[in-house]
Amino acid sequence: MAGEIAETDEKRFPDLSKSEKNLVVEVYAPWCGPCKMLAPIMEAIAVQFDGKCTFVKLNGDVNDKLIEAWHIRGYPTLLFFKNGKEVGREVGFTRKEKLVEVIGKYFLTD
């Protein structure tokens, strides 16, 4: 369903990153206030970019290997992957307008 952001984990992410051309990963923690503020914004953006990008979320508290590999130091962190490679990231709460701009930059221009 558009707007719903599926949960991923360390086991599923490698296959997901290979199969999706444009991927946005929302790294969060359940206790994180800014993460809770960002969640409805991400759901709205997922609707706006439905069919252009895939959106997933990853609980940083239970996926230590990816958090370490990605050098995540704070929540929320948004990672942008194009063709399986990280092309950018946003750390901390980010306004919707800024996220729309960033997604457009990474995924909608060639």
β-pair partners for 86: 81
Assigned domain for 65 exists: yes
Q: What's residue 110's pLDDT?
A: 59
Catalytic residue flag (residue 53):
no
The domain containing residue 19 runs over which residues?
Answer: 6-107
pLDDT at 18 over 80: yes
Active-site residue, from 25, 27, 29, 35: 35
Cα–Cα distance, 106 to 88 (Å, whole number): 8
The enclosing domain of 56 has a CATH number of: 3.40.30.10
In a domain, 80, yes or no: yes
Count: domains in the chain: 1
For residues 68 and 64, what is the distance between their CA atoms, to the nearest angstrom? 6
- Position 1 in a domain: no
For residue 104, give every residue at least 6 positions away whose Cβ sits within 8 Å of its Cβ, in sequence order, or none: none
* pTM reported for the whole predicted model: 0.92
Query: Can you tell me whether residue 10 is helix, strand or coil?
Result: coil
Q: What is the pLDDT of residues 22-71, one digit of tens each?
A: 999 999 999 999 999 999 999 999 999 998 999 999 999 999 999 999 99
Question: 49 in a domain, yes or no?
Answer: yes
Of 32, 41, 91, 100, which one is the catalytic site residue? 32
